[in-house]
Amino acid sequence: MQQEIRFATFNAYNLAPPGVQLYDNLLPATAEEYEAKLDWTARQIDLLDADVIGFQEIFSQAALREALARTRLYRDAVHVGFDPDPAAERLTPSVALVSRLPLAAPGVALGDYPAGVALADGTRDAEQFSRAVIHAAVAVSPDVTVDVVVVHLKSKRPDYRNGDNSEDPLLFGMACLRSLVRRGTEAVALRVLLTTMARDNKRAQIVLGDFNDVADAVTTTIVLGVGTPMSGRLFDAYQLQQRQDHLRHVGFSMLHDGNYTTIDHILVSEEFNPALPNAIGEVVDVVYLNDHVVLELPAASDHGQVLARIRLFDETRGLSDGGV
């Protein structure tokens, strides 16, 4: 049985075909820029060398497949991704999952909030994630299946109404609040989804994603289930890693306005917390691939990638299917 499993999260930053207008303030990529981005993305995927990778900001699953075709290690990997409505006026970002390990069942996109979770009446898409969540059951060994979930929560970009702008402090503040409320609602929806999944499947969980906030933000701690009963509780892999060196650690995934921060996280369930009695493995370390962020390489993502190495304990050999 493979003893070390590697999970990564990778915000690809506007991966879309050339010539496509994504945002009003962003010029479409040229053919040359697109080729350079595909080449850089493929090299970075190989550098991660992860068994399972969760992707965000995929505007075209075909573009991701083209990047995978340029890798050395992922040409035969399983790709789970769903493009948004092709009839929409513009492409919108989605998430994807790529696995070199087999899936126990086909991956699915979960676009709707669980029952009982909704934004205020009259809000657009009041009962839907801004980017549909992807769930796949990954067979990490013949005896252990892990539920892997890929997410991209609402950004902090102000949600302006028609005619609003940033010049009026009230309108700016309310636009930021609307984004926060949506991200918070998505966090609640994700907490309910993950708790239900843990109860029904009785399996370990890994959540890979861009949470658009730091690990101790209220929205992220809602997803973690901080303060809830241990069943269904999640943990930040960075906090659990066994090889932390706080004096030398340079972990971050974003550089914005001169501030280094981490909004891309890998969350793990109690089965990967070695301090708990039912642990089947532990987080060895968490690595941030972020040199390209500091160097501002033009073809690169504006996010660093996060990689978690997880070691399975020998005791998992005796577990039955799904085992956890």
Separation of alpha carbons 242 and 314, rounded Å:
17
Q: What mean pLDDT, rounded, does the chain reach?
A: 90
In this prediction, residues 14-29 reach a mean pLDDT of: 90
The band of 318, judged by pLDDT with boundaries at 50, 70 and 90, is very low
Please say if the pLDDT value at position 18 is more than 60. yes
The band of 245, judged by pLDDT with boundaries at 50, 70 and 90, is low
User: What tens digit of pLDDT does each residue of 185-221 get?
Assistant: 999 999 999 999 999 999 999 999 999 999 999 999 9
Give burial (CB, 10 Å; 0-12/13-18/19+) of 115.
Answer: exposed
Q: Which residues of 292-308 are buried (b: 16+ CB within 10 A; e: fewer)?
A: bbeeeeebbbbbbbbbb
Question: Residue 13 — φ and ψ, nearest 5°?
Answer: 60, 90
Structure-block tokens of residue 262: 């981490």
Please say if the pLDDT value at position 322 is more than 50. no
Q: Which residues of 74-89 are buried (b: 16+ CB within 10 A; e: fewer)?
A: beebbebbeebeeeee
Residue 323 is predicted with a pLDDT of 45
Q: What secondary structure letter does DSSP report for 317?
A: G
Separation of alpha carbons 21 and 244, rounded Å:
42
The band of 282, judged by pLDDT with boundaries at 50, 70 and 90, is very high
Sign of CA dihedral 184, 185, 186, 187: positive
CA 89 to each of CA 20, 21, 65, 92, 318: distance values in angstroms, whole numbers, following the listed order: 11, 10, 23, 9, 52
User: What tens digit of pLDDT does each residue of 177-190 get?
Assistant: 999 999 999 999 99
Residue 121 is predicted with a pLDDT of 86
Structure-block tokens of residue 279: 């642990």
User: Structure pTM?
Assistant: 0.92
